[in-house]
Amino acid sequence: MDMNQQMRKTEKEWQGLYSPQFEHDNCGIGAVVNIRGQKNHGIVEKALKIVENLEHRAGKDAEGKTGDGVGILLQISHNFFSEVCEKSGITLGAEREYAVGMFFFPQNELKRNQAKKMFEIIVEKEGMDFLGWRKVPTRPEVLGQKARDCMPHILQAFIGKPADVEKGLEFDRKLYIVRRIFEQSNDNTYVSSLSSRTIVYKGMFLVGQLRTFFGDLQNLNYESAIAVVHSRFSTNTNPSWERAHPNRLIVHNGEINTIRGNADKMLAREETLSSSRLESDLYRVLPVVDTQGSDSAMLDNTLEFLMMSGLELPLAVMAAIPEPWANNDTISQEIRDFYQYYATMMEPWDGPAAIVFSDGDVMGAVLDRNGLRPSRYYVTKEDELILASEVGALSVPEEKVVQKERLYPGKILLVDTVRGRVFSDDEVKSYYASKQPYGEWLDSNLIHLKDLKIPNQPVPEYSDEERTRLQKAFGYSFEEYRTSIRDMALNGTESTSAMGVDTPLAVLSDKHQPLFHYFKQLFAQVTNPPIDAIREKIVTSTTVYVGRDGNLLEENGENCRVLKIENPILTNTDLLKIKNISAKGFQVAVIPITYYKSTPLERAIDHVYVEVERAYKKGTSILILSDRGVDENHVAIPSLLAVSAVHQYLVRTKKRTSVSIILESGEPREVHHFATLLGYGASAVNPYLAQETIHELIETMIGKDYYAAVDDYNHAVLSGIVKIASKMGISTIQSYQGSKMFEAVGISEEVVCRYFTGTVSRVGG
C-alpha cells in the first residue's frame, strides 16, 4: 500500500483512541532544494508530492471541495518564461534581467483595466520598462464552488531591469517600492509576488488542485532549484485566495501569539527607522505591516521590509525569532551578545511556529524557542535537502539518504544555493554574531537598573491615616489585604487557585469593581499548547528594556543605549533610581494621572495626552504615569485606562518606540492587575500602595524584614505573570508587553475602540 492510500485509509477508520479529526491540527509545510543550485523540474514535482501527501494538515469546507489554501514558492524558471513569453509577444532579457509579478485582479473588467494601467504607470515612473501581461493558464473547473465564486483574474506582469541596477536584491528592492506604491493606490488587487528571483503560485485549493489548476506547474520546462510548499489549516482567520501561503518570503506552520503587540510596535517603530538602502524611498513603503493580514502575513511583511532595508534575510529571521538565550549556558558569549543587542530594539515574535523562508538564493528554516512545531529533513546523495513538517511526506529510498535530522527548538538551518552548501545553526549564528563588536557596544551603552546608584533622597512614606485613606480610595478589600498581599509577601508565591475563573462577572456586580476585573485572560487552545513555565524555565525571560529604541536598520553601538530591568515590578527605591537617572540618552518625565473630581474623565485623559506630547517634544524617553496625590479634591484615572490610552496614543502617533511607559500607582495589588497593565503597554509597574500595605502588615501579620517581604511580593507577582503568559504560549515578558491578550466583558464598544484598540469584546456594557 502506497503512502497516499494509507492516508486515505487512516482518514476513514477509527483505531482505538485515535480519531480522524485529530489529523486536522495545524498547517503542513515542506521544501525541496538542490544544494548546488542546479535547476530541474524534479524539484517542482517532489515539492508538489509533499504537499499532496500533507492532505491531513490542510483544512477544507464541509462539502470537501474547497480548501483553506495551498501554494508553492519557486525560483523563476528562465527557460520556461522565455518560451511562453515569446509566444505571447513579450521579449525578455537574460536570466534575472527581468522580474515576474503574480497578480490577483478583480473579475470586473473595468476595475481590472484601471488597476493594470495604474501598475504600468508606476513601473514607468520608477524608471523601469514594463514588458507586458500574460494570462496564467488555469483550470477553474477543478475547484470547488466556494473557491470559484471568489476566484480572482490571475495575470503575470513582466518588468525589465534598468541597466544601472544590479541583479538580485538591488533590483528586487526597486520592485518592492513599486509594489508598495501600487498597493497603497489600489485596494482591489493582490500581488502574490513581484521579484526577479521568486514567484508564488497559490489559491483556495485542496492539496491535489494546486498541480491541476496551474498549467505552468505541469510543464516539464519549468525548472527550479528551490521549491517551498504549504497546505493551510486556518486557525486565526477565514480562508481566502490572498491568505493562502506561501507569502512572499515565508511559509509558516503555527501561530504568532503576540501578534497584536508585534504589529503595534512595528508600526510605531516607523518613526525611528532610517535606512541607507531605501533612503528617500522609505516613506513610500510605509506602513510596514498590513494589519488586515494574518499573523504570518504580518511577520512576512516585517521580514521583507528588514531585508529590503539592508538586513540579510537569515539575520532578520534570527532577530524576530531568537532562540532562548538569556538562561542558556550552552551558547557562546558572542552569540549571547548578538541576541542581547537585538533584544534591546525588538521583542520576539513569540508562539509555536515552524517557518521556512527563501529569497530565491537561500532557503532556510527556523523553529520557535519551545520547539512546539515539528520540522524534519533529509539530505540525499543527489545533493538535495528535503524538509517537511513530518517524516514520510516524501518517499526517499534509504540507500539515497546521507543524513536524517530534525530542527531543534530555537535553531536555524540554511541552504545557500549560490555557495552550494548547507550551513548548520552554529555556523549561521557564529557568522552573524562575529560581524560586529556587539559585546563592546553593550558594555559601553547598556545600563542595568541594579547598577544605578541610589540617590540621596527619601522614599515617600505615608502615615497610618494617609495609608488607610488611600486604601479606601483605591478600593482595597479586606480579603485582598489579608490574603492576597499578605500571602505573597510572606511566602513569595501566589495563592494556589484553579486555572478557570468562576467568579461572577464584574459587570453584573452591585459593588464597584476595579477596571482590571472587566478583562478576562485568554488561554491557549486547539493547536496552541500552553508552556510549563516552571520545568521549561530556560525558555522564559522576565527582562524588559526601557528607553528610546534604536534604529533597527543600521547597526551601531548607540542603538543599545537603554535601561535593562530584570523584574518589571519595581520597588520604591527602583523607581527613585529611574527618576534620577543621569546617564546620557535618558530623560525622565513624571505625568500625573490624577484630576479634579468635577472634571469629566474623557477631558482628563485628553489632558494626559497633551502632557505626554509636551514631554516627548522635550526629548523624554521614559514616561512615568503617577497617581500619587489623590486627596479629597483629586481622584485617579483608573491605572489600566491611563496606561492603555497613552500606549495607544503613542502607537497612533508613531512615538511608542521612542518612549517607554512606567506606572507608579496605588491601584494594582493582585497578579491579574499587573498582567493587564503589562499586556496593555506598561514596561514596568511600581505598586507603591501595595508595598506600603506590606509595611503595615510587617507590624501585625508578617514576622520578617520589610525589604525581604517586598522582594518576595514582587517575585510572587512576577511568577504569576509568567504563569499567565505561559498559559497563552508566550515565553517572554518583553513579547507579552502590549500584546493585549485579554477579552473585555461589559465595557462599551466606544471605550474599547478608543482606549483598548484591538481588544476582543463580544459583550459590551
pLDDT digits (tens, 9 = 90+) for 217-276: 999 999 999 999 999 876 656 788 988 899 999 998 888 888 889 999 999 998 888 998
Whether residue 35 contacts residue 420, with contact meaning beta carbons closer than 8 Å, is answered with: yes
**Residue 226, amino acid:** I
> For the purposes of burial, counting CB atoms within 10 Å of the CB of 388, is it exposed (0-12), middle (13-18) or buried (19 or more)?
buried
What pLDDT is recorded for position 17? 37
Alpha helices by DSSP H, listed for 680-738, are: 688-700, 706-727, 733-736
Closest CA to 732 of 403, 274, 410, 282: 410
Please report which confidence band the pLDDT of residue 104 belongs to, taking 50, 70 and 90 as the band edges. very high
What pLDDT is recorded for position 120? 97
Mean pLDDT of 499-508: 71
Residue 443 has pLDDT above 80, yes or no: yes
C-alpha span between 229 and 55 (Å, rounded): 12
pLDDT digits (tens, 9 = 90+) for 641-685: 999 999 999 999 999 999 999 999 999 999 999 999 999 999 999
Q: What is the pTM of this model?
A: 0.91
Cβ within 8 Å of residue 458, ≥6 positions away: none
SS3 717: helix
pLDDT digits (tens, 9 = 90+) for 105-119: 999 999 999 999 999
Closest CA to 140 of 205, 94, 96: 205
Q: Is the dihedral of CA 258, 261, 267, 272 positive or negative?
A: negative
C-alpha span between 564 and 543 (Å, rounded): 7
**β 226-231/129-135 pair status:** unpaired
C-alpha span between 548 and 562 (Å, rounded): 7
Residue 63 has pLDDT above 80, yes or no: no
pLDDT digits (tens, 9 = 90+) for 540-596: 899 999 999 999 999 999 999 999 999 999 999 999 999 999 999 999 999 999 999
Length of the chain: 765
- Which of 39-48, 380-389, 498-507 is predicted least confidently? 498-507
Enumerate domains of the chain plus CATH numbers.
22-435 (3.60.20.10), 447-763 (3.20.20.70)
Chain centre to alpha carbon of residue 80: 37
As given in the structure block, the three cell numbers for residue 107 are 473579475
pLDDT digits (tens, 9 = 90+) for 143-153: 989 899 999 99
Please report which confidence band the pLDDT of residue 496 belongs to, taking 50, 70 and 90 as the band edges. low
Residues recognised as catalytic: 27
Chain centre to alpha carbon of residue 52: 29
What pLDDT is recorded for position 499? 53
* Cβ neighbours of 472 (radius 10 Å): 9
What pLDDT is recorded for position 7? 33
As given in the structure block, the three cell numbers for residue 172 are 528586487
Whether residue 207 contacts residue 67, with contact meaning beta carbons closer than 8 Å, is answered with: yes
Please report which confidence band the pLDDT of residue 373 belongs to, taking 50, 70 and 90 as the band edges. confident
Please report which confidence band the pLDDT of residue 484 belongs to, taking 50, 70 and 90 as the band edges. confident
* Cβ neighbours of 220 (radius 10 Å): 11
Mean pLDDT of 385-399: 91
Residue holding cell 514596561? 683
